[in-house]
Amino acid sequence: MAAKCNVLLLTDAVALPLRVVLSALRDVGTEGISEDDVVVITQCKSLGKLPKESASVDVALVAWENAELVGEQWFQEIGRVLKPGGKLLLQVIPSSDTLDKPSSMVERKLLMQGFIEVQSLEMKLLLSIGNVQSITVKAKKASWTTGSSFPLKKATNKVPKIQVDDESDLIDEDSLLTDEDLKKPQLPIIGDCEVGRTRKACKNCTCGRAQSEEKLQKLELTSEQINSPQSACGNCGLGDAFRCSGCPYRGLAPFKLGEKVSLPGNFLAADI
Amino acid sequence: MDEELNSKPSRLLVLYASQTGNAMDAAERIGREAERGGCPSVQVLSIDHFGASCLPDEKVVIFVVSTTGQGDIPDSMKVFWKSLLQRNLSNQWLEGLHYAVFGLGDSGYQKYNFTAKKLDKRLSDLGAEFLIEKGLGDDQHPSGYEGALDPWLLSLWRRLNIVHPYILPRVSDIMDPSKRSLDQAKFEVLYHFADEIQSKLSTISDLKDTEKVIESALSMSPAQFYYHEKRPEYFLQMITNQRLTEEVDGRDVRHFEFKTTSSLIDYQVGDVLEILPSQNPAAVDAFIQRCNLDPSCYITVIPRESNNQSLGRHSKSLVHPIKLKSFVEYTMDVASASPRRYFFEVMSFYAEAEHEKEKLQYFASPEGRDDLYEYNQKERRSVLEVLEDFPSVQMPFEWLVQLVPPLKTRAFSISSSPSVHPNQVHITVSIVSWTTPFKRQRYGLCSSWLAGLDPCKTNGVYIPALVTQGALRPPPPSVPLILIGPGTGCAPFRAFVEERAMQNLTGSVAPILFFFGCRNQNNDFLYKNFWSSHAHDDGVLSADKGGGFFVAFSRDQPRKVYVQHKMKEESKRIWSLLSAGAAIYIAGSSTKMPADVTSTIEDIIAEESGISKDSAARWLRLLEKAGRFYIEAWS
């Protein structure tokens, strides 16, 4: 990087070997840092606020022995001093009584504070306290801020890179589909020329379907037919399962011939 | 071929991945036909009861898999599928396995039968050999998926008979109607004498009593074994039942508010409230009377022990004898859901009248399949209606327990934020009604029931409900949001906006762009004042905050205007928020809307960034994988 890069090292330990810190920074892709660029704050537990201007830090490297420090207050402070788009690398020793996945708890707290591109990673221990488990998380401060304006993007033929939680131990399931599969599927060709099934004639029908439909129009039941139903075929009273497709009684419950037909008393009639 | 014959397959395994029960039904039919064909051992299992690592031990497996939602794998298959996708599996891992895949899907969707297509390819890539080409069932077909299943099964049995005659010795028996016999019912009903029942419930309040009865009923229900249905955790009291649409318009959309009485409700924005509806008491009584049952006798339902079953045991502690009427009331859907083909087949064995027997056998046969579809599925014929149309049928209660569709919970996106309304939960419900092809008027069971409830009733109105995670995950306050929710799709976003407004009081939040759509400004502009209040005075939807609220009124002018059109107008803003890390959420009840809106987003990305539409689609897919693109669609 050509421009000077401001790095903040924040720890609750008494001391931290700078050499270790610089190599950690190189590991996460921050090159060209010299000792002069790093501001070190140790024994930070007693501090309330950071003695740095807002949005003055490019990279914050945080190493905590004490998991208690993980929380809103400190993250807010770190967020304040970081420039928009600034990077954070956090390593902390989880306390023994935390739940199963302490790294996801740390990630979540970072997200709640407004950090983006939060990712856990493996990194060797920076703090010199012997052989313990540590959690390392990297994150970024959002480059979008309240009230900022966006320059209208010209067509640049580029889209922002998306950080995907890469499950690289699984194959890409979309690769299992052929080009044929991806095309819009063909609806089944239904022989629907028969009038009276679901397809209806168009409003401006020219093929004659509309006329056929009119002929097939279900005959409205006359009061005669309701009060004293008769049936030439003998099936009308048996119910829809037995009725012919043109039956005027279609849609009604079964009834006895000669007895008055009860009109729909649907059990699901809304009580509104 | 000879090597295969050396190791005879010990059994036929049928694995199903079902979302609404159709794939399960098809799988059970395959199992029955295999038995008829003389299969020495057939096992039908839900795929989440089978570990993928056991696949190489099998010789013959049939997969029956649904594609759900906008083209997704069913929930029950997610773990299995992930195991199968592992990179380190060799292309010989499944050598020696013969398989066949049948998919259930809907060609009205772009991602038609994707589950079956991907599964078939992956199995083949892993070294398994297919018996026949994959079968693709299609909801758009005149008789649904069975239109494809019937011929596919015939090919399968024929092929299996050649490749593994030990597994399927007699194809002709399957097709022979005279060989059709009644299987054994899967469940037993135990009747208890009155003096066995201790009335230990007499000292507990009415509500607790009902809770225990419902708990027991659901624990015994066959659905518990097949679907792993969750049981209601709360009894919520309805406190508000408010109509949001004008009386003028045909559509009736309600705003319901509920509160808990005892425990706290644990939920997040984006979650879903599942409600167990009450059935019409008159319908329940009519069903019991029609079936000659005694409503007041006490029963327990248990799975019948048999070799071919692996149903497992239910949790004994929750099961105690309950009244038959209660079991019917809470677990058997008698007046709403339609029975399946197998119901008609079993009915035929219990029909006394000859013409009814013939008709039922016809309906259950491949020849009668289309007519059955027209009479039953398309008409949404209920169990009660079917039984009334075939009055000579007397089906034993065991069979009814097994075959009457289970009473299912209905899911609604939660429209409130728990931080704004502690101990309350709100939902937005469109009352469902439609006319069938035979011109019968039908109403949605749950929505009509809710609409008719009066919160001011003396003792209060209580509904059994539970909370589940939906497809929409709650966003952190620092992520800018692009929300698209026409009609009742706005429900979860009311919760999002409420929550973010609350978070705004204590810290900085990112803005929200919300696109809403409805028919008329004066009729169905849901929550009009709510959106307005947040779009002014520095609210999270206000321009000052970097946000925006846009409405498309589709029918207020001669030209149709939808959310997509409004989005195109805000192309640049959408793109700049997206580039700054925004997340996109789409919700709604239309089947086509999510795909149309997605396509619009692809167009916007392509236009603003200069890349091709295909690349834009790929970028969106990455966005989805990164957890920044969610769709919740219901029908």
CATH of the domain at B504: 3.40.50.80
Instruction: Burial-class residue B400 by CB neighbours within 10 Å (0-12, 13-18, 19+).
Output: buried
Domain of residue B52: give its range.
2-179
Nearest CA in chain A to B254: A272
pLDDT in tens, B122-148: 999 999 999 999 999 999 888 889 999
A247 marked as binding residue: yes
The annotation status of A5 as a binding-site residue, yes or no, is: no
Verify whether the Cβ–Cβ distance B443 to A113 is below 8 Å.
Answer: no
Report how far Cα A224 is from the mean position of its chain's Cα atoms: 61
Residue B161 in any domain: the answer is yes
Neighboring chain B residues of A186 at a CB cutoff of 8 Å: 107
Final residue of a domain: which of B179, B196, B222?
B179
Residue A16's DSSP bridge partners are none
Q: pLDDT grade, residue B154 (50/70/90)?
A: very high
Between A114, A165, A239, which is nearest B389 by CB? Answer: A239
Task: Give the whole-number percent of chain A exceeding pLDDT 90.
Answer: 0
Is B184 contained in some domain?
no
Position A165 scores a pLDDT of 65
B451-456 contacts: CB < 8 A, separation 24 or more? Answer: B451/A270, B451/A271, B451/A272, B451/B241, B451/B252, B451/B254, B452/A270, B452/A271, B452/A272, B453/B238, B453/B241, B454/B241, B455/B237, B455/B238, B455/B239, B455/B240, B455/B241
DSSP B293: -
In a domain, B526, yes or no: yes
pLDDT in tens, B23-54: 999 999 999 999 999 999 999 999 999 999 99
Please state the rounded mean pLDDT for residues B319-345: 93
Q: B488-515 as b/e, with b when 16 or more CB fall inside 10 Å? A: bbbbbbbbbbbbbbbbbeeeebbbbbbb
Residue B212 forms part of a structural domain:
no
Q: Which amino acid is at B469?
A: Q
Where is average pLDDT lowest: A144-148, B380-384, B568-572?
A: A144-148
Quick one: average pLDDT of B454-466? 91
Predicted confidence (pLDDT) per residue in B535-577, tens digit:
998 899 999 889 999 999 999 999 999 999 999 999 999 999 9
The verdict on a CB contact (< 8 Å) between B609 and A156 is yes
- Give B241 or A208, the one with higher predicted confidence: B241
**Residue B246, pLDDT score:** 86
Residues of chain A found within 8 Å of residue B508, distances taken between Cβ atoms:
114, 146
- Which structure tokens are listed for B75? 């929930």
- In angstroms, what CA-CA distances link B188 with B277, B345, B426, B605? 26, 20, 40, 59
Q: How many Å lie between the alpha carbon of B388 and the closest alpha carbon of chain A?
A: 8
Cβ contacts of A198 on chain B, cutoff 8 Å: 437
Structure confidence at residue A157 as a pLDDT band (50, 70, 90): low
Rounded to whole angstroms, how far apart are CA atoms B23 and B15?
10
Which candidate from A153, A170, A253 shows the least CB-CB separation from B82? A170
For residue range A101-135, list pLDDT tens digits in order.
778 788 888 888 888 888 888 777 777 666 777 88
Q: How many CB pairs under 8 A join A and B?
A: 181
C-alpha B22: how far from its chain's center?
10
Indicate whether B592 belongs to any domain. yes
User: Which of A159, A172, A213 to probe the B interface (max B CBs under 10 A)?
Assistant: A159
B18 is in an annotated binding site: yes
Per residue, the 3-state secondary structure of B382-416, as one string, reads CHHHHHHHCCCECCCHHHHHHHCCECCCEEEEECC
Helix (H, G, I), strand (E, B), or coil: what is residue A115? strand
Residue B172 known to bind ligand: no
Residue B230 predicted with pLDDT over 80? no
Are A240 and B438 in contact (CB < 8 Å)?
yes
Judge whether B496 lies within some domain.
yes
Query: Binning pLDDT at 50, 70 and 90, where does residue A198 land?
Result: low
pTM of the model: 0.76
Q: What is the pLDDT of residues B500-526, one digit of tens each?
A: 999 999 988 999 999 999 999 999 999
For B192-209, how does the pLDDT look when each residue is reduced to its tens digit (9 = 90+)? 876 566 554 444 456 678
CATH number at residue B59: 3.40.50.360
| Whole-number Å distance between alpha carbons of B598 and B33 | 43
Which is it for strands B60-66 and B98-105: parallel, antiparallel or unpaired? parallel
Of B86, B433, B579, the CB nearest to A160: B579
State which of B179, B210, B229 marks the end of a domain.
B179
User: Does the pLDDT value for residue A270 go beyond 50?
Assistant: no
- Closest-CA residue of chain A to B608: A155
The greatest distance separating any two alpha carbons of chain B, rounded to the nearest whole angstrom, comes to 80
- Secondary structure string (H, E, C) spanning A210-251: HHHHHHHCCCCCCHHHHHCCCCCCCCHHHCCCCCCCCCCCCC
CA atoms B188, B193, B194, B196: torsion sign? negative
User: Is B556 a member of any domain?
Assistant: yes
Residues of A in contact with B109 (CB under 8 A): 185
DSSP for B473-496 reads PPPPTTS-EEEE--GGGGHHHHHH
Residue of B87, B379, B622 with shortest CB distance to A169 = B87
Final residue of a structural domain among B179, B205, B236? B179
**Residue A219, pLDDT above cutoff 80:** no
Q: Is B551 part of any domain? A: yes
Determine the Cα–Cα distance for residues B595 and A92; give it in Å rounded to an integer: 44
B549 forms beta bridges with B514
β-pairing verdict for B42-46 and B12-17? parallel
- How many domains are contained in chain B? 2
Show residues of chain A in contact with B581, CB under 8 Å.
Answer: 116, 142, 144
Task: Say yes or no for a CB contact (<8 Å) between B608 and A155.
Answer: yes
Q: Exposure pattern of B330-353 as b/e (b: 16+ CB <10 Å)?
A: bbbbbbbbbbbbbbbbbbbbbbee
Q: Which residue of B has its CA nearest to A197?
A: B437
